[in-house]
Amino acid sequence: MSRAPGTALEDRPEPDRVPGAPHPRETKTLIGHAAAEQVFLDAFNAGRLHHGWMITGPRGLGKATLAWKIARFLLTTPKDDGGMFAAPPPVSLDVPDDHPIVHRMVVLSEPRLLLLRRAWDDEKKRLKSVITVDEVRKAKTYFNMSAADGGRRVAILDCVDEMNPQAANALLKLLEEPPANVTLILISHQPFKLLPTIRSRCRELRLMPLGADDMAAALAAMGTPPEAPERLAELSGGSVGEAIRILNLDGLKLYDSIVALFATLPRLDRTRALALADAGAARGQEDRFDLVLTLIDLFLARLARAGTIGYCPPEAASGEAEVIARLSPTPDAARAWADLAQGLAARTRRGRAVNLDPASLLMDMVLRMNETAAMLAPR
């Protein structure tokens, strides 16, 4: 359990922070999700504040940022006593940055806030791979101890997908018998994998991918105005977190290289292939290797989708539409690329499991893509 005081040491990684981006508790501006904010605000003003809220959607959309914004709002908004001098209903979830509670939340010292996430393993000197049942049980103890303080209390669980089965069952008990004055905010990237009983006891706020304009505004608010927001929106699937990863690892140039390589198929340009393998498999660059695999899989998915629906998506690299139209002109071609993507994913998992050389793994993928292109080429 990551409780406010004394857990986040400066030299320890935070499991809920996107590398290269501010932590969601430090992000004051949420862009592109006004509808979800309004749903929560309407429920609050109507006196129908559910004890459990689940914010869902793909990684990097701003789910945690919304969770922290809701938490700031709940902890700084006085309870309505129903008297004649009660404050008017709030019109937004915004809270002044200089509010003392906001400051305490940023430094993780607000006593009415509980942050539950993967804990640090002191013995192995790394983050635990799951949220354990002990962490969730500590949450119940915390709620009991903090009840005497009065006022609202908020718990953020980021993310519930990382709970082991025992922790999930313990959370279910909390949702079935919620403590008084506690709002549980659960963050989930893949809610369909959760226990149906957990999902049914929460009200869902589903966030949608950002378009190019919102993507540009969100990145600019973080101090990273992009030069190509349309390309980033396509490659990231509308995820700000993924866009930051792409920018940090020079992913736009990597994708240009992948499209340029595919443009040579089925007459594979081996010089380009070797250059891509070297770029994605440099020693100590595991994150870059992961991104190359992600971008190759993305291009294959775009090939399969375009051949199936007969329509090329907006270009994420110069000349991409022409390459896609040539390599995947029919549903049969689309099926071949989809089958290849599935096969390559399985081979990649096996290769990484036995520590196969990354450059060799990438070259094997490229050769198999060339074989598929040759099979589909007009005779």
What pLDDT does 44 receive?
95
As a whole number of Å, the CA-based R_g of the chain is 24
> Using an 8 Å Cβ cutoff, are 189 and 6 in contact?
no
| Distance between CA atoms of residues 139 and 149, nearest Å | 16
If phi > 0 it is left, if psi is from -120 to 50 it is alpha, else beta; for residue 144 that is alpha
Hey, is 53 helix, strand or coil? strand
Q: Which two tokens stand for residue 104?
A: 């305490």
| Distance between CA atoms of residues 65 and 24, nearest Å | 5
DSSP string, 98-150: T-HHHHHHHTT--TTEEEE-PPEETTTTEE-SSB-HHHHHHHHHHHHHHGGG-
Nearest to 271 by CA among 250, 257, 289, 282: 257
Hey, is 47 helix, strand or coil? coil
| Distance between CA atoms of residues 373 and 88, nearest Å | 65
Residues 279, 314, 267: CA angle, nearest 5 degrees: 50
DSSP string, 66-112: HHHHHHHHHHHSPP----TTPPPPPS-S---TT-HHHHHHHTT--TT
Which is it for strands 153-158 and 113-116: parallel, antiparallel or unpaired?
Answer: parallel
Length, in residues, of the chain: 379
Angle at which helices 270-280 and 251-262 cross, to 10°: 150
What pLDDT does 148 receive?
58
Q: Where are the domains of the chain?
A: 2-206, 249-376
Instruction: List, for residues 73-111, the tens digit of each pLDDT value.
Output: 999 998 776 656 667 889 999 999 999 999 999 999 999
Report residue 42 CA to chain centroid gap. Answer: 26
Block means of pLDDT (10 residues each) for the chain, 379 residues, are 45 83 90 96 94 95 96 91 71 95 95 91 87 87 71 92 94 91 95 94 96 92 85 94 93 96 96 91 84 96 95 92 96 97 94 89 95 92
What pLDDT does 5 receive?
41
What pLDDT does 144 receive?
78
N- to C-terminal Cα separation, the chain: 62
Which is it for strands 203-206 and 52-56: parallel, antiparallel or unpaired?
Answer: parallel
The domain 2-206 is classified under which CATH number: 3.40.50.720, 3.40.50.2300, 3.40.50.620, 3.40.50.300? 3.40.50.300
Nearest to 20 by CA among 284, 254, 249, 289: 249
If phi > 0 it is left, if psi is from -120 to 50 it is alpha, else beta; for residue 32 that is left
Tally of CB atoms within 10 A around 254: 22
What pLDDT does 85 receive?
62
What pLDDT does 124 receive?
84
Report residue 379 CA to chain centroid gap. Answer: 44
Cα separations in angstroms, 235 against 22, 40, 69, 248: 21, 30, 27, 14
| Distance between CA atoms of residues 243 and 228, nearest Å | 11
What pLDDT does 378 receive?
84
Which is it for strands 126-127 and 52-56: parallel, antiparallel or unpaired?
Answer: unpaired
What pLDDT does 149 receive?
64
What pLDDT does 150 receive?
66
Nearest to 268 by CA among 260, 278, 279, 277: 260
